Amino acid sequence: GLGDVYKRQVIVLLIALSVLAAFCGQMKVKQVLGAICPQIYWTALIAIVIATAAAAGRLLNKPALLMIHTGLGLVLIGGIWGSQAGHTLAERLLGISKIPRGYLLLSEKEVENSVFSEDFGLISGELAFGIRLNDFRLEYYKEKQPQTYGVIKDYVSDVSIIENAKEVEHKTIEVNHPLHYRGYHFYQHSYDPDQLNYSILFVRSDSGLYIVYAGFLLVSIGSIVRFWFVNLPKRLKLNG
């Protein structure tokens, strides 16, 4: 049917973007997507939402499929809401001004709030609070094994959140253990390899993140219900 044709087209598009990202890098994908006319972009998004809502009525008697389709819609909406275009729309319609992503350069004992762009050439914006780097250190494997002894195990930034000249929160940021504060995640990104006196944090807005999480949860639950409680019993009955 027509729905299957659309699904195949979406799959082909995702494969093409995956190949482009693999061979040309994620920045090339962003340039390709960023070149799309914003009007076409938002028109397509609205069309997808309307089509999903229209199809939902036919899935009311199939709760597992309804959860899967709703979850996929939430993942799409959450991803869009967390994009640069989504942040721009949130600022225009809701007055919510946030920095989508960037890098924070911290020097020891200094308070910083300027977030730089990905090429570190421009300041993307300023946070409503400051972050002070209290200490940066490297942790090494201590097991006396030739393949791991002396190898760097972790990068650690000991930071404080500063508001109104007061420390309001303290956190040790490690790889895969970010700091989350007032709508932002701060990840350990890089450091000064020579003197270890500054640290670079990757800053990411959490806009749309929990919508994406909810979408993945619905997709997971719907897939389990569809396979284990709908399809599998039918197959076992037919084989029996």
Q: pLDDT tens digit string along 32-64?
A: 555 554 555 556 666 666 666 666 666 667 788
Residue 207 has pLDDT above 70, yes or no: yes
Per-residue confidence (pLDDT) for residue 114, from 0 to 100:
94
pLDDT digits (tens, 9 = 90+) for 82-136: 888 788 888 888 888 899 999 999 999 999 999 998 777 788 899 999 999 999 9
Q: What is the C-alpha separation between 214 and 203, in angstroms, rounded?
A: 22
pLDDT digits (tens, 9 = 90+) for 221-235: 988 888 777 665 565
Per-residue confidence (pLDDT) for residue 61, from 0 to 100:
74
Could you identify the residue written with the tokens 């762009």? Answer: 117
Q: What is the C-alpha separation between 218 and 70, in angstroms, rounded?
A: 7
Q: What is the C-alpha separation between 153 and 139, in angstroms, rounded?
A: 5
Higher confidence at residue 70 or residue 16?
70
Per-residue confidence (pLDDT) for residue 194, from 0 to 100:
78
Per-residue confidence (pLDDT) for residue 63, from 0 to 100:
80
Backbone φ and ψ of 220, nearest 5°: -65, -50
Q: What is the C-alpha separation between 168 and 129, in angstroms, rounded?
A: 10
How many Å separate Cα 110 from the centre of its chain? 28
Per-residue confidence (pLDDT) for residue 169, from 0 to 100:
93
Amino acid sitting at position 54:
A
Q: What is the C-alpha separation between 1 and 165, in angstroms, rounded?
A: 63
Name the residue among 75, 101, 82 with its Cα closest to residue 187: 101
Nearest 5 degrees, angle CA 148-CA 141-CA 104? 115
Q: Indicate the pLDDT class of residue 68, thresholds 50, 70 and 90.
A: confident
Handedness of CA 54, 57, 58, 59 (dihedral sign): positive
